[in-house]
Amino acid sequence: MARTERRGEPMRRREFITLVGGAATAMSFAAARAQNTTRIRKVGVLTSLLPDDLEGQSRIRAFAQALQRHGWVEGQNLRTETRWMGDSAERSQQYARELVGLTPEVVLASTSPCVVALQRVTRDLPIIFANVIDPVGAGFVASLARPGGNTTGFIAFEYSISAKWLELLRELSPGVKRVAVVRDPVPASGIGQFAAIQTLASSSSGLELTAIDPRDPAELKRALAAFASERGNSGMIVTASQPAATHRDLIASLALQYRLPAVFAFRYYLANGGLASYGPNNIDIYVGAADYVDRVLKGEKPADLPVQAPSRYELVINLRSAKAMGLELPPTLLARADEVIE
């Protein structure tokens, strides 16, 4: 009897191995089927910078990394289509049509020109914007709390920030009497920023503003050369606009050439030699936009997601540019800065 049990043991082991092997094979086939049937979600990105722009690359990388933290992995359950339009109106319409034609579930729109281009093509596809100024005034949303429609997102700042640029310029160069304001006069955001600066300037006796349009590089050079040639303590404010972002290398180099203390809306201008900036952290804005894209992919509607503003603004000062211009900056100002580039 004992001998019979011993003869049966190898048989039972073979049966067990066969059973386990079959189960493992079945599980492998099931896993393969699950992997093959994983739904790939499509996201579009329309950005107003160009592919070789390091700032644009940083923003898109931060956006992708934030999506990955939410579980959206490129090539596994996500496919992202990105179009880099720069400041070309022709490309903006072409790429907006292309992206909508690819039927993504949601599109990230970087800055106002991208939102304009997309809204001309669709009023149904969810649009999450980043770095937009005054979306209500531009007609993108009905209100900040209740956007309505298919569009919502994250603003760069409110117009009151623009007046702070003039205050900062006067701290950098206390004797300033003439200020060149580089702005885009076409969109509502350009008009609003200039108006906020103008309101503060009107209450300051002897302060003169000169508006400069940065759309054409040759005209920009001529205008700043003419401004700098006139006598008097001079400075410059560069407001947020697509043309200014496109030509920021030129603007920063001209400011250094003519020794014009300049304040910029964003920190990334300082990488090109700008003197000081006061504004939001752009990377934070794109991380927030990824959060909204995730919520849309999970079923929420843009109409129900309130437009959000930055929770903090950063003062950054480029001490190297200050030294190149011969500026002695107040220690109290340097102490207040969130970052000093030395």
Cα 163 to Cα 102, 157, 175, 186, 278, distances in angstroms: 42, 12, 18, 20, 11
Q: Are residues 79 and 146 in the same domain?
A: yes
- The answer to whether 303 and 269 have CB atoms below 8 angstroms apart is no
246-263 in b/e burial notation, b at 16+ Cβ within 10 A?
bbbebbbebbbebebbbb
Q: Are residues 174 and 148 in the same domain?
A: no
Q: Does some domain include residue 11?
A: no
- Prediction pTM value: 0.85
Q: Are residues 119 and 188 in the same domain?
A: no
Tokens linked to 247: 């030509």
DSSP calls for 266-325: SGGGGGGT--EEEE--HHHHHHHHHHHHHHHHTT--GGGS--B--S--EEEEEHHHHHHT
Q: Does some domain include residue 1?
A: no
Q: Are residues 99 and 128 in the same domain?
A: yes
Q: Are residues 286 and 252 in the same domain?
A: no
Q: Are residues 335 and 297 in the same domain?
A: no
What confidence score (pLDDT) does residue 46 get? 97
For residue 180, the cross-strand partners are: 210, 236
H/E segment holding residue 115: helix 112-121
DSSP calls for 201-261: HHTSTT-EEEEE--SSHHHHHHHHHHHHHSSS-EEEEE---HHHHHTHHHHHHHHHHTT--
Domain count, the chain: 2
For residue 263, the cross-strand partners are: 237, 276
Backbone φ, ψ for residue 86 (5° rounding): 65, -145
User: At CA 195, angle to CA 115 and CA 248, rounded to 5?
Assistant: 60
Q: Are residues 193 and 226 in the same domain?
A: yes
Q: Does some domain include residue 81?
A: yes
Cα 169 from Cα 131, distance rounded (Å)? 23
Sheet with 339-341, edge to edge strand ranges: 208-212, 178-182, 234-238, 262-264, 276-279, 314-318, 339-341
Q: Does some domain include residue 142?
A: yes
CATH classification of the domain holding 177:
3.40.50.2300
What confidence score (pLDDT) does residue 17 get? 43
- The answer to whether 208 and 166 have CB atoms below 8 angstroms apart is no
Q: Are residues 151 and 164 in the same domain?
A: no
For residue 277, the cross-strand partners are: 264, 316
Amino acid of residue 98? E
Give 198's contacts (C-beta < 8 A, 6+ positions apart): 209
DSSP letter at 174 equals T
Q: Does some domain include residue 297?
A: yes
Q: Are residues 207 and 322 in the same domain?
A: yes
Q: Are residues 142 and 175 in the same domain?
A: no
What confidence score (pLDDT) does residue 8 get? 47
What confidence score (pLDDT) does residue 37 get? 52
pLDDT < 70: residue spans in the chain: 1-37
- The answer to whether 241 and 190 have CB atoms below 8 angstroms apart is yes
Of 309, 316, 212, give the one whose Cα is nearest residue 269.
316
Q: Does some domain include residue 149?
A: yes
Q: Are residues 333 and 290 in the same domain?
A: no
Q: Does some domain include residue 32?
A: no
H/E segment holding residue 66: helix 54-69
Q: Which long-range contacts (CB under 8 A, 24 or more apart) does 74-78 make?
A: 76/38, 77/38, 77/39, 77/40, 77/41, 78/40, 78/41, 78/42, 78/43
Q: Are residues 269 and 200 in the same domain?
A: yes
Q: Containing domain of residue 51, as a range? A: 41-156+282-304
Q: Does some domain include residue 27?
A: no
Residue 116 CB neighbour total at 10 angstroms: 18
Q: Which long-range contacts (CB under 8 A, 24 or more apart) does 87-95 make?
A: 87/48, 87/113, 87/242, 87/243, 87/245, 87/246, 89/113, 92/46, 92/48, 92/116, 92/117, 93/117, 93/120, 93/121, 95/46
